[in-house]
Amino acid sequence: MFGFKSQTRKQGLVAVVPGGDGLAVAELQMNGARPRLQSCDFTPWDGSPEANEKLLAKKVKQFGLAKRPVTTVMELGEYSILSVEAPDVPPAELRAALRWQIKDLIDFHIDDAVIDVFDAPPSGATGRQNNLYVVVSRTSAVRARADRLQDAQANLSVIDVPELVLRNIAARLPENEAGVAMIYLTRERGVVVVARQSMLYFARTLELGYEFLRQGMNIGGTGPGDNPTFDRLVLEVQRSLDYYDRYFAQPPVAGLVLVPTALPVPGLDDYLHDALGLSVRMLDLREIVDCDSSLDAHLQAHCLAAVGAALRQEVSTL
């Protein structure tokens, strides 16, 4: 999304994602139809800001990222994604037109905003076929994330967002053709996305994370309506699927895929299956990438965003 001048693009992207718990690095080789995960590295933070920045610089040096193009990922809550009608202007004027169009849709001054755009699918409703998704963030948030990597001498090429990272993964799942919903949860937040045929149709930000859901693990009932904590997530997913079916006039998705979480939430998959009547399963990244090293669920949870970001194919931005 948010692009930077990279010194070279001769090799594939390497993703470096500083998260709440530590630093994830994913390196993919894209020579064949099935990517090979060359490296998948997660290191917890030491605790002090100075030590954390030293760790980041160390990893940049370890993976030779001063010359290789690097991507990273914004955190949930640092940006918004807006659906807007595409303005009827020449391509050279699109950015200015979009900034004017969204200025009343954000809670800060448009002069303090940085934006990028990607295609939205047709709605299926007459007269609403030509929409765009606009990613908007405060310039200070993007700058802070960029400065952190560039201060560590990383050759930053692009900053992505979790919704498109998940789209990159969904595009390689067996459910991609018919459509798939995915749930990605961090400690305090989450997002549910619906993708079909490699296109992101819909995303809903969740004001709950795996810590909240873990509070419901020991509640007695295991069926729909028995667990108020899990039911919060059920409601958000059902609303998302209803909107997808109605607004985009699409057939139901083939299933729901849960991304592994840093701390597990036992029973959530079965609960969602019973409540939604959908096929529900846990994601295993080994179904979409080849790798020689161990890639257990804990490592996948910490490195999911990095792997998805490294799968990025687009290189152009506004």
Q: How many domains does the chain have?
A: 3
Q: Is the pLDDT of residue 10 over 50?
A: no
For the chain, the average pLDDT equals 90
For the segment 174-190, what is each residue's pLDDT rounded down to a tens digit?
A: 999 999 999 999 999 99
CA separation for the pair 119, 57 (Å, rounded):
35
Residue 31 — very low, low, confident or very high, per pLDDT cuts 50/70/90?
confident
For the segment 187-241, what is each residue's pLDDT rounded down to a tens digit?
A: 999 999 999 999 999 999 999 999 999 998 777 666 677 889 999 999 999 999 9
Identify whether residues 132 and 88 lie together within a single domain.
yes
Q: Which of 26-30, 144-148, 224-228 has the highest mean pLDDT?
A: 144-148
| Domain coverage including residue 216 | 174-282
Residue 7 — very low, low, confident or very high, per pLDDT cuts 50/70/90?
very low
For the segment 74-130, what is each residue's pLDDT rounded down to a tens digit?
A: 999 999 999 999 998 998 899 899 999 999 999 999 999 999 999 888 877 654 568
Asked if residue 287 belongs to a domain, the reply is no
Calculate mean pLDDT across residues 11-24. 88
Residue 131 — very low, low, confident or very high, per pLDDT cuts 50/70/90?
confident
Identify whether residues 29 and 150 lie together within a single domain.
yes
Asked if residue 24 belongs to a domain, the reply is yes
Lowest mean pLDDT among 136-140, 159-163, 228-232, 288-292: 288-292
Asked if residue 291 belongs to a domain, the reply is no
CATH at residue 18: 3.30.420.40
Rounded to two decimals, the pTM is 0.91
Residue 32 — very low, low, confident or very high, per pLDDT cuts 50/70/90?
confident
Residue 41 — very low, low, confident or very high, per pLDDT cuts 50/70/90?
very high
CATH at residue 130: 3.30.1490
Identify whether residues 10 and 156 lie together within a single domain.
yes
Output the DSSP codes for the chain: -EE---S--SS--EEEEE-SSEEEEEEEE-SSSS-EEEEEEEEE--SSHHHHHHHHHHHHHHTTTTTS-EEEEPPTTS-EEEEEEPPSS-GGGHHHHHHHHHTTTSSS-GGGEEEEEEE----SSTT---EEEEEEEEHHHHHHHHHHHHHTT--EEEEE-HHHHHHHHHTTSGGGTT-EEEEEE-SS-EEEEEEETTEEEEEEEES--HHHHHTTTT-S--STTS-HHHHHHHHHHHHHHHHHHHHS--PPPSEEEEPP-SS--TTHHHHHHHHH-S-EEE--GGGTSEESS---HHHHHHHHHHHHHHT-------
- What local confidence, expressed as pLDDT, does residue 221 receive? 64
- What local confidence, expressed as pLDDT, does residue 8 receive? 42
Identify whether residues 133 and 238 lie together within a single domain.
no
Residue 318 — very low, low, confident or very high, per pLDDT cuts 50/70/90?
very low
- What local confidence, expressed as pLDDT, does residue 217 receive? 78
Identify whether residues 119 and 38 lie together within a single domain.
no
Calculate mean pLDDT across residues 25-39. 88
